[in-house]
Amino acid sequence: MEKTIFSLIIICFLSATTFSNSFIGLDSLSLAKTKKMIANGTASIETRITYQKLISKADVLLKSPNPTVMHKTLIPPTRDKHDYLSISRYWWPNPDYKDGLPWTKFDGLTNPITQTDDVDRKRLGVMSKGVWTLSLAYYFTNNEMYAQKAISMIETWFINPNTLMNPHLEFAQSVPGIAIGRPSGILDGRTIVRFVPDAIHLLSTSKHWLNSHQEITTDWFSEYLTWLKESDLGIKGSKQENNHGSWYKYQVASLGLFLGDTTLTKKTVQLAQKSLDNMLDDKGGQPLELARTRPFFYSCFNLQALANIAVIADKIGIDMWHYETDSKKSLALAINYLTPVLEGKEWHNNMLDELDYTALIPIVSEASKKVNTEEYNKILSKIIKITEEDRIEQNEVLDAYYLFKND
């Protein structure tokens, strides 16, 4: 028993001294435990398989070109290719007009034109997830070639003046004939914030990560945060009451933590807590998400942002998991509204796609650590079982769960 406690103290000490800054989403102790179990062969078979998949992905990335906003073929209104550009996915050319303008919305139906390499959205995802994968591969293996590649991708996207992205989203999720940029476009930035800051913490132990890297990327994220808080689009984005508003708050809270502004993070967490009043009905349903053509997906999507904020809240001493508004709205109420479908309860909302229970995994997994542990662990086991029975080979959500579950 004493030996076990001593080992845990050592792990905590090493984690604290290795990473000088707080992770946004990762837990340093959990990370260290996973690394130790992989190294000594005590990790579960699922974790070991997921780890091998991680390394395989990282090996492919070693040979892949670095993404950059300079590779798009469509040009932003500024004529500056350093400005990020994307087109909103559910908008289509209007069949009633010869030139198709203005485009019209078909909610839930992705226009493939919006997902091509002509714009930056796919590249942003490839960069963010690529840096994440490589930094984890470096952490688990201590192999500097993974760190070097991750750092080179960061240099290309954030540092090199010839290839970098300017730190704003003025032209994200544009709609031809309607708007060259919209508050909804801020949603695109969540991918950078979810993966890159924590990857930077992982890479900070590499001999190839220089002070100049830290300084320039910190400046980039600081400028992006300023744009989120002070630009016209950013101010409008902060007032949205659906999943866009939640992901906006997630980005601000995350960057506040990353940049050491815990006052901003605390203020943003408190705003997220208060937003539950307008966001949820008395039963825990999310009216603005339930009105969509993909109501289950968007209910989970919004709840994922809120759960991520709750994880951040834990790091600054705020318990959002147990928080209730005056009208008894809470994260648990929202989770409990969705989970009965696992027991066969009919989902009464109109849908364009089938229920994807996988979306509940990261939400219930985090919640189980804080509230209704026994109940949520049973729910989580059921989701895993259902997902495993119909599992596709590449399931990023399930892989992430297995990599950090520590058993």
Q: Cβ atoms within 10 A of the Cβ of 361, count? A: 20
pLDDT of residue 347: 84
Residue 195: CB partners within 8 Å, gap ≥ 6?
A: 128, 129, 131, 132
Query: Which of these, 189, 186, 190, lies nearest to 174 by C-alpha position?
Result: 186
Lowest mean pLDDT of 106-110, 140-144, 274-278, 400-404, name the range: 400-404
The pLDDT assigned to 388 comes to 74
Instruction: Please state whether 260 falls in left (phi above 0), alpha (psi between -120 and 50) or beta.
Output: left
Residue 348: the pLDDT is 75
Tell me the sheet residues that pair with 87.
174
pLDDT per position as a tens digit, 42-88:
999 999 999 999 999 999 999 999 999 999 999 999 999 999 999 99
Neighbours of 108 (CB within 10 A): 17
Q: What is the pLDDT of residue 44?
A: 92
| pLDDT at residue 127 greater than cutoff 60 | yes
Q: How far is residue 231 from each of residues 167, 182, 319, measured CA to CA in Å? A: 12, 12, 31
Helix, strand, coil percentages, rounded to 5, for the chain: 60, 5, 35
pLDDT of residue 27: 92
Spatial separation of the C-alpha atoms in residues 284 and 294, rounded to whole Å = 17
Cis bond before residue 112 (omega within 30° of 0): no
Q: What are phi and psi of 79, to 5 degrees?
A: 65, 15
Asked if 33 and 42 count as a contact pair (C-beta separation under 8 A), the reply is: no
Tokens of 15: 């984690």
Q: Percentage of the chain surpassing pLDDT 90?
A: 82
pLDDT score recorded for residue 406: 65
Please report the pLDDT score of residue 344 as a whole number: 84
The answer to whether residue 14 scores a pLDDT higher than 60 is no
Burial of 186-212, coded b for 16+ CB within 10 Å and e otherwise, reads bbbbbbbbbbbbbbbbbbbebeebeee
The two beta strands, 104-105 and 91-92, are antiparallel
pLDDT at 387 over 80: no
When comparing pLDDT for 211 and 5, which is higher? 211
Q: Locate tokens 């579960």: which residue?
A: 44
Q: Mean pLDDT across the stretch 296-305?
A: 96
Lowest mean pLDDT among 37-41, 112-116, 359-363, 391-395: 391-395
Cα gap 89→326, rounded to integer Å: 37
Cα gap 207→175, rounded to integer Å: 44
For 361-381, write each residue's pLDDT tens digit: 999 999 999 988 899 999 999
% of the chain exceeding 70 in pLDDT: 93
Q: Of 215, 240, 242, 216, which Cα lies nearest the Cα of 228? A: 240
Task: Quickly state the pLDDT bin for 1 (edges 50, 70, 90).
Answer: very low
Say whether pLDDT at 391 is over 60.
Answer: no
Q: What is the mean pLDDT of residues 308-335?
A: 97
Torsion of the alpha carbons at 92, 166, 220 and 192, rounded to the nearest 10 = 20
